[in-house]
Copies of this chain bind each other. A is one copy, B any other.
Amino acid sequence: MVLRGANLARKRFPQIDFLVFGQESEVAPILNRMKRLKQVTTLVHCDGVVSDSEKPSVAVRSGRNSSMHRAIRAVRDGEAAGCVSAGNTGALMAMAKMALKTLPTIDRPAIASFFPTLRGESVMLDLGANVQCTAQNLVDFAIMGNAFSRTVLGTQEPSVGLLNVGAEERKGHEALWDARAQLDRLEMPGRFHGFIEGDDIAKGTVDVIVTDGFTGNVALKTAEGTAKLMGVYLQRTFKSSIFAQLGYLLARRAMHKLRKRTDPRRYNGAIFLGLNGITVKSHGGTDAIGFANAIGVAVDMAREGFMDRIRTDLAQIRSNPTNTRAAAV
């Protein structure tokens, strides 16, 4: 799946080449069958592998020769522009945090991803790296999501919203109130919208949705589950009568486009934001198309100079006297 995904990505981005980390005896035979990919790929043999069930803390300690750790180190050492993995999320985050370190002033990295909306695409973070978040974490996520939206999605003036259970000032909990007060005063490109609610995600009310990792993870998976349910309902509907079946035959091409539009593989590739380097996590259960999309996310970030953009943003925000006052309040 990984190599076939890389092969698809190679066609889409002819300018990139690959470092592939893994067991040579397993990887080489497959790679030998993909001549064009092989020409742009360096295979780096690694003895170890991090299993999906391994605890992050254990993986970090004992996994220094694993393919995962080697791939992250290649980013740290400037050998790779970014790392893409479909492995154990917790281990990948723990290793990336340790090897790449967080950006200046950023306490905690977050996991971000795209969401389809009525207006196009939004980015949401955190999706599970931090179960509990302070106001400062949420403010950091807003800054990082903002930079990501401008760089990778090309949004000129991104609007940022804090996910809550109501739009009024005293809804939710204290970390949200404090984060809102800080973001109200923070001078950054774009616009702070205030609180949003769950239905604002799909509406596309804002370009960047900021939330703690618990809520974000539940919202992401609830949306995925609901979309799948609607898909099954639609299938059943088209099978429910002979007329509906004929109708489907006529609308088939359009329905195919809809399926493509809502294909979860299209949104594959969760970004670790807040680290000194690009790391993208692919869904473990995806296929070559999905993995190629995750590679595409890393390529876009590298090509659009995301790391420079976020470093500049953070430096500007820190040096702005208004923001220093805001942070001190």
Tell me, in angstroms, the Cα distance from A219 to B172 when the chains sit together: 14
Choose among B172, B202, B224, B243 the residue that contacts A251 (Cβ–Cβ < 8 A): B243
The answer to whether A198 and B173 touch across the interface, beta carbons within 8 angstroms, is no
Chain A 231-250 interface residues, beta-carbon cutoff 8 Å to B: 231-234, 237-238, 240-241, 243-244, 246-250
| A328 on the B face (CB < 8 A) | no
Contacts of A262 in B (CB 8 A): 230, 233
| Pairs A–B under 8 Å by Cβ, sample size 18 | A163-B218, A198-B220, A198-B221, A201-B226, A202-B229, A203-B228, A214-B215, A215-B218, A227-B230, A230-B230, A230-B262, A237-B254, A238-B251, A243-B251, A243-B252, A244-B253, A246-B247, A247-B251
A173 CB, min distance to chain B CBs, angstroms: 6
Asked if A197 contacts B218 (CB within 8 A), the reply is yes
Contact of A222 among B132, B219, B230 (CB under 8 A): B219
B-chain residues with CB within 8 Å of residue A220 when the two chains form the complex: 198
Tell which of B116, B230, B237, B246 touches A250, judged by Cβ atoms closer than 8 Å: B246
Give the one of A163, A215, A244, A251 with max B CB within 10 A.
A251
This protein's copies in its complex: 2
Residues of B with C-beta under 8 A to A240: 254, 257
A residues contacting the other copy or chain, number (CB 8 A): 59
Chain A positions near chain B (C-beta within 8 angstroms): 116-118, 128, 131-132, 163, 165, 172-173, 197-203, 211, 213-215, 217-234, 237-238, 240-241, 243-244, 246-255, 257-258, 261-262
Contacting residues, chain B, for A247 (C-beta < 8 A) = 246-252, 254
- Quick check: B118 and A229 within 8 Å, CB to CB? yes
- The CA-CA distance from A202 to B230 in the complex, in Å, is 9
Q: Which of B117, B173, B234, B258 contacts A258 (CB 8 A)?
A: B234
CB distance from A95 to the nearest CB of B (A): 19
Instruction: Kindly identify which residue among B128, B228, B231, B244 contacts A165, using a CB–CB cutoff of 8 Å.
Output: B128
Closest Cβ–Cβ distance, residue A228 to chain B (whole Å) = 7
Q: How far is the CA of A116 from the CA of B198 in the complex (A)?
A: 18
Q: A213-B165, A222-B202, A225-B200 are contacts. A254–B244 as well, Cβ < 8 Å?
A: yes
Chain B residue numbers with a CB within 8 Å of A249 are 247
**Cβ contact of A198, chosen from B217, B230, B255, cutoff 8 A:** B217
On chain B, the residues within 8 Å of A232 by CB distance are: 118
* Contact in complex: B132, A173 (CB < 8 Å): yes
A230 to B224, CA, bound (A): 11
Question: Closest Cβ of chain B: how far from A182's Cβ, in Å?
Answer: 20
Q: How far is the CA of A252 from the CA of B246 in the complex (A)?
A: 11
